[in-house]
Structure 1
Amino acid sequence: MRVPKLRLHRPHLRVSQSQSAFASGNARWTNLDLDPVPRAGRLWGPLSFISYWISDAFNAATWQFASSIIAVGLSWRESLGIVALSFFIISFVIAANGAVGSIYHIPFPVIARASWGFWGSYIAIISRVILAIFWFAIQNVNGANAVKAMIGAIWPSFLTMENTIPENQGIETNTMIAYLVFWLVQFPFLCIHPNKVRWLFVAKSIIVPAAWVAILVWAFVAEGSGALFEQRPSVSGSQYSWVWLASMTSVLGNYATLSVNQSDFSRYSRVSAKWQLLYIPLLPIIFTFISFIGIAASSAGWSRYNTASIPWDPIELISHWNSRAARFFGAFSFALASLGVNISANSISAANDLMALLPSFIDLQRGQIICGVISWALVPWKILESANNFLNFMSAYAIFLGPIAAIMLWDYWLIKSQKYDTVALYQPETNIYRFNKWLVNWRAVVSFLVGVVPSLPGLANSVNAGIDVGVGVHPYQFGWLLGFVGTSLVYVALSYAFPVPEALVDRAVLADEVYDAGEIEGVEEGGVGMGEREGRGPGLVQGHGGVGKEKGFAVY
């Protein structure tokens, strides 16, 4: 009797990809995860988005906003005012760019092609992915510190473990162990699709707020308002103004990422784009409240434990608690907070960007895993050594994203009159978003440089204080606002002065038209031109110079 051979499925370097109706035979620009989300995959409703933002807001960085601003010379009043104003401003941009994803159900890297061109979009994508991985790494440090406190509450000698890592490395052995533990616990979540991971946000939006409100109650019971509420600004004159602007730029920088790529999540929406307007009142309220918790808790800890400096790091505050159970559960809330925000704001965003760079080899799951692996090489614990370093990093984070957000916002809502051709965003052959033979919109590139260049001297000075740039440091101190406004003016002016008629389509072409039709007429090599709608039914695209009809595309 012949025993059949057992066939083992070897892992493939290339990602699994059916023939895409949007790629039209050219897999260079998409894969299954980059294609528009079909109706069956749109599972995010109002509860999902509300819990997502509550989950995203409750993290150690938000706690540290106001307290780190106080550490550089302002009072608690100015701190809360800066946080409220910053999120009021950024909420409009998040809502506007997020609405595009909920209408067209496509991610940020694909939307960027409409304003930057196919190859030009890589400027925005690479800028975004670098910062996403950096922030992922920083949240790993926050999570590691929380895990360290949790282990220390169970095993106190862990906190006094002998350090075998050189002091100049900026991290101790027990912290590195905690970093590894947090990373390993986090790893399975990097393999979960956004439609399923939304339940993590729901759980976090219940557990973490409850824990932090309990800490707020403790703060007022322990020390009332605390000495911090009696402090006045320690800076004045022009220095006060520049510190104020620099602090606002730092707060804006933290969520400048989602002002660019909110569509990576809103693409899964099953509800109207109008729900994105919920962010405008919601975000300033939530983030200001969390910052207030950070101020109250830091103030109580400063007064109660007579610390030499304000414990703006919440884990430092928790370490003073006598109750080991309280230390464990308090630290657990911050570990969960870091885990949730790392998935919601960083790993999924980085994965979308990495997919767009190499769609044949990277899907959403692989992209998240790559993000997690690369984060080890960034030595993020050195960024968080002090309040000033934290603010400097956040400022640097913002100067690149303000211009990108501005270009995308005005391109859709003003220049293109809220009309994109979804099919053309996957097919440069249609000539709609080609711009030129290099597939780059020079208007976006020039506008981006105008928004970024003025802040570069200040960025160099923040990285190396030995580089004296004089007054050149000031543009950097309000880099997000300067970049956003400057880029907006230049991009709109260039787009009207040098219009691209092919990109101004007569009507919006949505993904559902293609999915409903189940077929698409593609442009053959015989010639390409501006795509037209010939009235043959939804989703059928005809190009001048040669038309070929291809059927049998998989609809998923």
Structure 2
Amino acid sequence: MQLQVEENGIVTLTPEGENLIKDSAMYNEGLRPTRKNEHHWTAYNFASLWIGMCICLPAYSLAAGLISIGMNWWQAVGTITLGNLIVLVPILLNSHAGTKYGIPYPVFARLWFGSRGAHIPAIARGIIASGWFGINCWFAGAALDTLLVAMSGWANVPGHLGISFVFMWLLNVVIAYRGPEAVRRMENWAAPTLIVMSLALLVWALTSAGGWGPMLSAPSKFTTTGDFFKVFFPSLTGAIAFWSTLALNIPDFCRYAKTQKSQIVGQSTALPTTMGLFSFIGVAVASATVVIFGEAIWDPAALLAKFSPIVIFLGTLGIILATVTTNVAANVIAPARAVENIWPRKFTYGFGVIVTGLFSLLLQPWFILENFGNYIFGWLGTYGALLGPIEGIAIADYWFVRRRQLQLTELYQPNGRYSYKGGFNQKAIWALLIGIGINVVCKYIPGLEFIWDNAWIVGLLVSMLLYSWFMNKDQSLLSPTEYKKFTKQISG
């Protein structure tokens, strides 16, 4: 029986396929494969998605923070641009699976970790997204607090910063509750708005600092190449880890792509260019603050406080918009789907959004942002060591082990082909543990700390190679003959 149809590189279920799984405990409306009419996202939709996500306060702080630890402007921009070009590779590789089969990230994870083991990478991604959710809300809350302090007697209200944070947290939860399709509509108009506001900030820095020369003339504080590389490699890992989260759950968005070309073109043009431009703006503005105020200010809320109330008002609106476009797209859908996947017949996407918001409070974003060391070396570096091995397993499974051929209906069967033993793929778990373990051990061995500094890349490569070796001739693999048996081919 042919249970799926492949047309122009997009696989959807036949009516027989849908009937086979619709009553499964692992199936619901949010987790099912997308249908043919739901593949409607164009290259512009993906470009606007990335523009809206990249123009955010953590990205600004990452770039400006590299200045504060000693880099000059081109070292900082180059580090971030290189990191985004590197992470674009796994983003596009995992996007192919989401586009071709129309499955969200937790269902994709069932393929390589098993029907129950999928909770391991899904929840890991969800925890990190919850942390980012809180970080973005904290940035926006601080900006709102700055606005209210400048325009009223808000400074006399006890706990005023905490109140501002809670308000922004609630606003983000309410908007996120509306679902992923609302993201596409919001990003369409938010992306050009954020571009204009970012360029306006750059113009202010340029004119106030007296031109490019004074603004970008600050030399690097590193006197030797060795001193620079001690900071460069962990900073590069941080730049990669920044979007390594989306490299995992990008199928949550690409499952709606019209074609493979639309997602490839949209993402390849928008991600590296937007992050490169916005990191330059962050670096330029931080450098300008040294000229203008005598110190490098990498906190946008602290910078806002230097302006008049009307500028603070407009800047706060921009920060709120940047926070919402990033948070709803990048930091809610993944954990909400992870919660939904725990009990598909009972837990909804909306319930997952609420759990995400509550968990973000437990991760204490105010501590992560207490200083730049916590942010890039602690937060970004640590979760980069976790996500690298997971991404290596995902890429190896889809591209090298299964060669892009799978049976959709089996992903929704508790005891199906991809359930492995007891719902867990032990081979994936071992590849993950070894990939993480090598990085952690090297962190504490003198002379091997550089392995930890490059934890994302090392973990990805180690787990990718191990998983490919472990899964050679695994019983879950489809032969080309079996794939043709289940799949009806329709030429364009």
**TM-score computed with the length of structure 2 as normaliser:** 0.90
Matched, 1:445 2:442: no
Would the aligned equivalents of 2:407 and 2:486 in 1 still touch at CA under 8 Å?
Answer: no
Task: Tell me which residue corresponds to 1:282.
Answer: 270
Matched, 1:128 2:125: yes
Q: In the TM superposition, what are the counterparts of 1:7-18 in structure 2 within 5 Å?
A: none
Q: In the TM superposition, what are the counterparts of 1:117-196 in structure 2 within 5 Å?
A: 117-155=114-152, 157-158=153-154, 160-161=155-156, 164=158, 173-196=159-182
Task: Tell me which residue corresponds to 2:189.
Answer: 203
| Whole-angstrom CA distance in 2 between matches of 1:493 and 1:360 | 36
Matched, 1:72 2:69: yes
Post-superposition offset of 1:408: 0.9
1:358 to 1:534, Cα distance in 2 relative to 1, 3 A = closer
Post-superposition offset of 1:201: 1.2
Q: Deviations over 1:384-440 (max 9, x none)?
A: 01111111211112111111111111211121011011101111433x21333x222
Task: Tell me which residue corresponds to 1:533.
Answer: 485
Matched, 1:272 2:259: yes
Task: Tell me which residue corresponds to 1:363.
Answer: 348
Post-superposition offset of 1:357: 1.4
1:485 to 1:243, Cα distance in 2 relative to 1, 3 A = same
Q: How many residues align?
A: 470
Post-superposition offset of 1:91: 0.7
Letter of the 1:273 counterpart: Q
| Whole-angstrom CA distance in 2 between matches of 1:350 and 1:359 | 14
Among candidates 216, 230, 237, match of residue 242 of structure 1: 230
Task: Tell me which residue corresponds to 1:113.
Answer: 110
1:445 to 1:93, Cα distance in 2 relative to 1, 3 A = same
- Decide which structure has greater helix share: 2
Task: Tell me which residue corresponds to 2:418.
Answer: 433
**TM-score computed with the length of structure 1 as normaliser:** 0.80
Q: Deviations over 1:176-209 (max 9, x none)?
A: 0110111222232122121123122122202211
Letter of the 1:302 counterpart: V
SS of 2:480's partner is coil
Task: Tell me which residue corresponds to 1:212.
Answer: 198
Letter of the 2:240 counterpart: L
| Whole-angstrom CA distance in 1 between matches of 2:351 and 2:223 | 48
Matched, 1:414 2:400: yes
Post-superposition offset of 1:286: 1.3
Task: Tell me which residue corresponds to 2:284.
Answer: 296
Extract unaligned runs of 5+ from structure 2.
1-16
Task: Tell me which residue corresponds to 2:248.
Answer: 260
Matched, 1:353 2:338: yes
* Percent identity of paired positions between Structure 1 and Structure 2: 26
| Whole-angstrom CA distance in 2 between matches of 1:197 and 1:418 | 28
1:185 to 1:479, Cα distance in 2 relative to 1, 3 A = same
Task: Specify the structure having the higher radius of gyration (Cα).
Answer: 1
1:22 to 1:179, Cα distance in 2 relative to 1, 3 A = farther
| Whole-angstrom CA distance in 2 between matches of 1:376 and 1:54 | 27
Post-superposition offset of 1:300: 1.3
Would the aligned equivalents of 1:36 and 1:105 in 2 still touch at CA under 8 Å?
Answer: yes
Would the aligned equivalents of 2:91 and 2:248 in 1 still touch at CA under 8 Å?
Answer: yes
| Whole-angstrom CA distance in 2 between matches of 1:401 and 1:186 | 25
Q: In the TM superposition, what are the counterparts of 1:371-520 in structure 2 within 5 Å?
A: 371-391=356-376, 392-430=378-416, 432-436=417-421, 438-457=422-441, 470-471=446-447, 473-496=449-472, 499-506=473-480
State the structure with bigger RCO (CA 8 A, min sep 6), 1 or 2.
2
| Whole-angstrom CA distance in 2 between matches of 1:534 and 1:50 | 34
Letter of the 2:463 counterpart: T
| Whole-angstrom CA distance in 1 between matches of 2:84 and 2:479 | 34
SS of 2:420's partner is coil
